[in-house]
């Protein structure tokens, strides 16, 4: 009892703070995610459309890669940003399936939107979805086919099939036969223990046709800034010694370096002579090392350029860190931070060095490297946007091949795997009592969005093909999927439409976790004016139980 005393009003949140909670907030979050799904679903599959995105500075990007599109879209809704995050994580972890994971997460939310509106507890839904995801994961592992890695021909065939499937939805699918060999060669060049894809360099040179692209088993980089005397240097060597430096070989003006007070001209001349002596001793050390090629991450000035030209030595300064690291991986040797005590065993070598014209650019090529654990793809094409999309397409294919090397279990693509899991979950749901039956069945229906969307994007009759697929899978044809050539269904495993099982496993688990996370939020606190550490962060979200799930 308060005996007539009034409880004072307590202000907890800063003025202007917007709070919304309960079932309405959960539905709002689901609708935001469905808007993201509607934006990206037309890009799914071999016949999906591209999206043209114009940035704030007028820069245009044309792509059908899910991770790229979502990264460029300025998504501000905090719940919808979760879909952006899972697309990025799929791209980082697997490299492909970025559109599929976003579409699947949206469909999982769409299937249970009605249940949320009817008042079913989100905790019950989360429990059902996690159970269904666990069943789906076990099913994928049980039906996946393992390929023998000990047979080089069989392994290469597997990698080429996976690369071709990854390219089927990309802009380069008509040239997939050309690029498949290039991608597999690139991955097999790497050290098979760590498979560091950053050692695969990609250089873009506008002009020429797409099949003018080059695979370089070694290193290629664009000719760096050159001083006078550069054209007098030799442009090709056989079995050269290569010296890699992190040393500046350039004279600096005295006024830029330090203040020197002198009383006589001879003293000033002594300072100048000392500077010249320092740089000449560095150049002499480079020549005495026996190197035919000198590369440096720092500038090599006009004096050094002319000095090397007079002695038939090739030099390149301002070589980027990435190019220098890949060069060291290919030719061997070490990066020197001083020119004193250069030992012959610390120099690199290759069979052949050449500077030659590629389109409108000059490129330096190091080939026949004894320690080659790196390679370079020189991409050609008609426009910069086109080449940029080719680069993104090849990145996805390289990541898929990389995963296939590490995990040599594959499943059929074209919606075959999703339909088989959907059939399995429907059968399991009939043996479960209570609300969980509805939730496992909802998960099964959501998986069908992949083959349905593939059909819709291709202009096929989605309902008719989906009915055929359900019938075939019910008869035990577990690899039946959408066939884009016959506009019907086919055994996609026999047609070599293969994908690493890791793509499906990661997509289903990521989509389920995203859906569960969004369902666990029942309150959003938003303060547009917050700053300086005061008040809650903009778009802060709270879990239904007030604790992290």
Specify the pLDDT at position 540. Answer: 47
CA 132 to chain centre: 29
Same domain, 393 and 366: no
Same domain, 485 and 358: no
Going 348 to 351 to 354 to 358, the CA torsion angle's sign is negative
Specify the pLDDT at position 67. Answer: 84
Same domain, 422 and 515: yes
Same domain, 74 and 132: yes
What's the CATH code of the domain at 391? Answer: 3.30.260.10
Same domain, 170 and 314: no
Q: CB count, 10 Å around CB of 508?
A: 27
What is the three-state SS of 78-114? CCHHHHHHHHHHHHHHCCCCHHHHHHHHHHHHHHHHH
What's the CATH code of the domain at 84? Answer: 1.10.560.10
In whole angstroms, give the CA distance from residue 489 to residue 457: 16
Same domain, 325 and 365: yes
Q: CB count, 10 Å around CB of 121?
A: 13
Specify the pLDDT at position 527. Answer: 67
In whole angstroms, give the CA distance from residue 20 to residue 78: 13
In whole angstroms, give the CA distance from residue 301 to residue 305: 6
Same domain, 258 and 293: yes
Domains of the chain: total: 3
Same domain, 135 and 34: yes
Q: CB count, 10 Å around CB of 256?
A: 6
In whole angstroms, give the CA distance from residue 242 to residue 296: 11
Let me know if residue 9 belongs to a domain: no
Mean pLDDT score of the chain, rounded to an integer? 85
The pTM assigned to this predicted structure is 0.77
| Residue ranges for the chain with pLDDT beneath 50 | 1, 254-255, 531-549
Let me know if residue 175 belongs to a domain: yes
Same domain, 114 and 201: no
Specify the pLDDT at position 536. Answer: 42
How much is the CA Rg of the chain, to the nearest whole Å?
30
Let me know if residue 276 belongs to a domain: yes
Residue 362: CB partners within 8 Å, gap ≥ 6?
222, 223, 355, 356
Same domain, 493 and 394: no
Specify the pLDDT at position 75. Answer: 85
Let me know if residue 549 belongs to a domain: no
Is residue 400 within 8 Å of 389, Cβ to Cβ? no
Specify the pLDDT at position 148. Answer: 77
What's the CATH code of the domain at 300? Answer: 3.50.7.10
Q: Kindly give the pairing relationship between strand 236-238 and strand 218-222.
A: unpaired
Let me know if residue 548 belongs to a domain: no
> Range of 426's domain?
18-145+412-543
Report CA-CA distances (Å) from 467 to 65, 110, 482: 29, 21, 11
Same domain, 181 and 231: no
Count of CA atoms in the C-beta half-sphere (13 A) of 376 = 26
């Amino acid at each position: 009892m308060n005996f007539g005393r009034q409880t004072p009003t307590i202000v907890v949140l800063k003025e202007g703070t917007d709070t919304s909670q309960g079932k309405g907030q959960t539905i709002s979050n689901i609708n935001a995610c469905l808007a993201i799904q509607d934006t990206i679903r037309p890009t799914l599959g071999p016949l999906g459309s591209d999206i043209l995105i114009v940035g704030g500075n007028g820069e245009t990007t044309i792509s059908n890669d899910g991770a790229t599109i979502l990264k460029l879209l300025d998504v501000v809704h905090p719940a919808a940003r979760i879909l952006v995050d899972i697309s990025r994580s799929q791209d980082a972890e697997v490299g492909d399936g970025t559109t599929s994971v976003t579409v699947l997460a949206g469909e999982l939310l769409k299937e249970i939107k009605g249940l949320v509106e009817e008042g079913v507890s989100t905790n019950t839904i989360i429990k059902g979805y996690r159970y269904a995801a666990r069943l789906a994961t076990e099913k994928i592992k049980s039906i996946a086919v393992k390929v023998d890695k000990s047979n080089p021909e069989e392994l290469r065939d597997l990698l080429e099939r996976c690369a071709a499937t990854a390219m089927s939805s990309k802009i380069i699918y008509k040239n997939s036969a050309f690029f498949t060999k290039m991608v597999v060669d690139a991955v097999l060049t790497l050290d098979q223990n760590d498979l560091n894809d950053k050692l695969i360099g990609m250089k873009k040179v506008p002009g020429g046709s797409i099949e003018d692209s080059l695979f370089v088993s070694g290193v290629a980089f664009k000719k760096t800034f050159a001083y006078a005397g550069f054209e007098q240097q030799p442009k090709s060597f056989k079995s050269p010694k290569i010296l890699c430096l992190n040393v500046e070989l350039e004279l600096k003006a005295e006024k830029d370096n330090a203040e020197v007070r002198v009383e006589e001209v001879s003293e000033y001349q002594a300072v100048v002579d000392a500077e010249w002596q320092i740089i000449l001793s560095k150049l002499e050390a480079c020549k005495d090392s026996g190197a035919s090629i000198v590369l440096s991450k720092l500038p090599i000035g006009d004096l050094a350029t002319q000095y090397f030209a007079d002695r038939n030595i090739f030099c390149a300064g301002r070589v980027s860190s990435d190019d220098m690291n890949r060069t060291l991986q290919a030719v061997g040797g070490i990066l020197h931070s001083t020119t004193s005590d250069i030992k012959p065993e610390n120099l690199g070598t290759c069979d052949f060095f050449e500077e030659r014209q590629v389109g409108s650019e000059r490129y330096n090529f190091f080939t026949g490297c004894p320690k080659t654990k790196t390679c370079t793809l020189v991409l050609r094409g008609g426009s910069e946007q086109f080449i940029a999309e080719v680069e993104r397409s090849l990145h996805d294919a390289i990541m898929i091949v990389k995963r296939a090397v590490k995990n040599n279990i594959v499943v059929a693509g074209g919606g075959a795997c999703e339909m088989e899991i959907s059939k399995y979950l429907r059968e399991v749901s009939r043996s479960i009592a209570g609300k969980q039956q509805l939730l496992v069945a909802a998960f099964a229906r959501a998986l069908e969005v992949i083959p349905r969307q593939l059909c819709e994007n291709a202009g096929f009759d989605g309902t008719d093909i989906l009915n055929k697929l359900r019938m075939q899978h019910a008869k035990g044809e577990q690899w039946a999927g959408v066939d884009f050539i016959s506009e019907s269904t086919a055994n996609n495993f026999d047609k070599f439409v293969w994908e690493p099982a890791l793509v499906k496993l990661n997509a289903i688990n990521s989509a389920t976790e995203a859906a569960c996370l969004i369902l666990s939020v029942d309150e959003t606190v938003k303060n547009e004016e917050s700053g300086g550490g005061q008040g809650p962060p903009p778009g802060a979200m709270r879990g239904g139980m007030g604790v992290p799930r």
